[in-house]
Amino acid sequence: MVSRGLRHTVLAIMSGRDVLVEEISGLVGCSNSEVTETVYRYWLKPEICDGAERVNDIFKFV
């Protein structure tokens, strides 16, 4: 059994490093990625951030 604090830390770190939610789900013991997305939505890096970062990277060089 993993403590809640450690689980949240793992979720945040892995999500921040662009690990797929399906992989995170299995590692933290969720039955599927939908459960992970629902229960730990706050800790997962939002997809919108990825898109915004990519747009910023594109326009850095313009």
- pLDDT, tens digit, 9 for 90 and up, residues 1-48: 457 777 778 878 888 888 888 888 888 788 888 888 777 776 676 655
- Give the number of domains in the chain: 1
What is the value of pTM for the model shown? 0.56
pLDDT of residue 46: 65
- Using CA atoms, how far residue 19 sits from 28, 44, 59, 60, in Å, is 13, 10, 25, 25
Domain of 49? 4-60
